[in-house]
Amino acid sequence: RTIGDRIGEAKASGNLGNTLKILGQFDEAVVCCQRHLDISQEQGDKVGEARALYNIGNVYHAKGKHLSWNMAQDPGCLPQEVKETLQKASEYYERNLSLVKELGDRAAQGRAYGNLGNTQYLLGNFSEAIAFHKERLAIAKEFGDKAAERRAYSNLGNAHIFLGRFDISAEYYKKTLQLARQLKDQAVEAQACYSLGNTYTLLQEYERAIEYHLKHLVIAQELGDR
């Protein structure tokens, strides 16, 4: 501020916002991220503007998750305050998405689609969540980003469960499992086995359910995860 560096002030405000978000001080975080947005727009800095929109989305997303953690509920069954917070997150992600499309930034589009999928899932809009996660998946494949691909499969599996399409969920969870093994991530592998066990229970294929739950158990024991 002293040297009148507006872009520098914008970036510093954004960093402050992200730090306050991690500290759980969501309202203060929004103020800082909003300053980042305002200055970026004033300076015609499109990249900064996109980043600020994404960061504000993240603050509302984190706040929504934080508020809903205190209430163990299924996605969609949310108190009004949580719903409004997640809808705000979604709006900012949408604005970010249209701007990064304009900028031709595919990687940023992937991140926006993933977060839109997650917010729509929490809001109980499962069909919308699926559409966003499919976009996320396509971009992850484009970039050969196996970790993002794995997350997309997992999220697609979760959303299909709530639409009662258990057979489709099982296929997505199997792809999650395959990638978890490729990535040598045992905790995620265990989680995928757990999801498959539950899905086969819903499909009333109990032998297969037992098989996957046993795999989950073995990995949990190996990892010493009580």
CATH of the domain at 127: 1.25.40.10
User: Are residues 134 and 35 located together in one domain of the fold?
Assistant: yes
- Average pLDDT, integer, range 187-199: 98
Burial class for 57, CB neighbours closer than 10 Å (0-12, 13-18, 19+) = buried
**46-105 pLDDT, tens per residue?**
999 999 999 999 999 999 999 988 776 677 778 999 999 999 999 999 999 999 999 999
Domain closes at, from 83, 110, 144: 144
Q: Are residues 33 and 125 in the same domain?
A: yes
What is the spatial distance between Cα 162 and Cα 89, in angstroms, rounded to a whole number?
Answer: 22
* Domain stops at, among 128, 144, 160: 144
Q: Please tell me the predicted confidence (pLDDT) of residue 72.
A: 63
Look at residue 223 in the predicted model and tell me its pLDDT. Answer: 96
Do 140 and 159 lie in one domain? The reply is no
Model confidence, pTM: 0.93
Residue 184 shares a structural domain with residue 76: no
Q: What is the pLDDT of residues 200-212, one digit of tens each?
A: 999 999 999 999 9
Q: Tell me what pLDDT residue 198 has.
A: 98
Residues 72 and 99 occupy one common structural domain: yes
Residues 153 and 179 in one domain: yes
Question: What is the DSSP track for the chain?
Answer: -TT--HHHHHHHHHHHHHHHHHTT-HHHHHHHHHHHHHHHHHTT-HHHHHHHHHHHHHHHHHHHHHHHHTS---TT---HHHHHHHHHHHHHHHHHHHHHHHHT-HHHHHHHHHHHHHHHHHTT-HHHHHHHHHHHHHHHHHHT-HHHHHHHHHHHHHHHHHTT-HHHHHHHHHHHHHHHHHTT-HHHHHHHHHHHHHHHHHTT-HHHHHHHHHHHHHHHHHTT--
Q: Residue 146: what pLDDT?
A: 97
Tens digits of residue pLDDT in 95-151: 999 999 999 999 999 999 999 999 999 999 999 999 999 999 999 999 999 999 999
Domain containing 53 equals 1-144
Mean pLDDT of 192-200: 98
In the chain, how many domains are there?
2
Q: Are residues 10 and 48 in the same domain?
A: yes
Residues 18 and 126 in one domain: yes
pLDDT higher than 70, residue 166: yes
pLDDT over threshold 70, residue 12: yes
Instruction: Pick the last residue of a domain from 118, 144, 170.
Output: 144
Residues 168-176 have a mean pLDDT of 98
In this structure, the answer to whether residues 11 and 100 fall within a common structural domain is yes
Whether 155 and 114 map to the same domain: the answer is: no
Shared domain check, 166 and 64: no
